[in-house]
Amino acid sequence: MASYTATARAEMSELRRLKTLLPPELQSWVMVEATTEVNPPLIRCEEIGRDEVEIQLDLAKWDVLAIDQRNLMFWHEVARIQNDTIPREGWEMAALAIGLGGAVGELWVQDGLLLILALGLCGISGYRLWQKNNGDRTLKEAIEADEKAIALATRFGYTLPNAYKSLGSALKTLAERTPNKRGRKRYEARLQSLRRSASKAKARAQSKRDGTGEERGVREGRQPI
């Protein structure tokens, strides 16, 4: 009983801590909660109302990550909210069901015009569902959220190298712990993109330092080499 109470307290403490990592402009309408689903993802966002979003965590999996890794994965979800790329329950599934039902019915009564309309509804809703679940698109959105997570980390006091290191180590850990081949490849693709971004950021910082050094040398009367 004491162990269960200690675990519950630790979980509540972690949820409160993560709440403090939300940018001030999100704190009034973004909730942070432990998920109650069976075999859920590590972390995800869900729209629970017209003006309310919930970040849901599997705290058992979450506990495996180091604090800095958790922070960057959390900011990744925050970035998805800011980028407006969180999944929403849309009309597509209902429209697809209606269209399929209508098409079957019109085949029975042999009304050509209504059959065409029903098939058209199936086509539009099916295309929208394909768009929402397109692997290339979702990967692109995830990579964009990773970039914004880095910016959020620096806003909260991380140095740029440490932000890249924390997110990179989190993605590597998750890739190693993901048995599903498709999920593992997504983490690996994000990690490769993050490495390229880190290399570019390092090159920009080095170029800026070199330029500053040259300007200082000119002011002190030294000739650049």
> CB-based contacts of 136: which residues, under 8 Å, 6+ apart?
none
Tell me the C-alpha distance between 73 and 60, whole Å: 15
Q: In the prediction, which pLDDT does 135 show?
A: 61
Task: Please state, in angstroms and rounded to a whole number, the distance separating the CA atoms of residues 70 and 72.
Answer: 6
Global confidence as pTM = 0.76
Instruction: Output the six-digit token pair for 82.
Output: 């800011």
Element holding 193 (H helix, E strand): helix 181-219
Helix, strand and coil content of the chain, in percent to the nearest 5, comes to 70, 10, 20
- How far does Cα 134 stand from its chain's mean position? 15
State residue 76's pLDDT score.
Answer: 98
User: Structural domain boundaries of the chain?
Assistant: 2-88+133-214, 92-132
As a residue count, the chain comes to 225
Could you tell me which residues are beta bridge partners of residue 57?
A: 34, 43
pLDDT of residue 119: 56
How many other β-carbons are positioned within 10 Å of the β-carbon of residue 29?
A: 14
Sort 89 into a burial class: Cβ within 10 Å, 0-12 / 13-18 / 19+: exposed
CB 72 within 8 A of CB 163: yes
The per-residue pLDDT for 7 is 82
- H or E stretch covering 62: helix 59-62
Q: Give the DSSP letter of residue 24.
A: G
Exposure of 95 by Cβ count < 10 A (0-12 exposed, 13-18 middle, 19+ buried)? middle
Q: How far apart are CA 107 and CA 110, in angstroms?
A: 5
180: DSSP letter: S
Is 166:72 a contact under the CB 8 Å cutoff?
A: yes
Q: What is the pLDDT of residue 128?
A: 53
Give the Cα separation of 53 and 87 in Å (integer): 11
Per-position pLDDT tens, the chain of length 225: 556 677 888 999 999 999 999 999 999 999 999 998 888 999 999 888 778 999 999 999 999 999 999 999 999 999 999 998 876 554 444 544 554 555 555 545 555 565 566 556 555 545 554 454 556 888 999 999 999 999 999 999 999 999 999 999 999 999 999 999 999 999 999 999 999 999 999 999 888 888 765 555 545 554 443
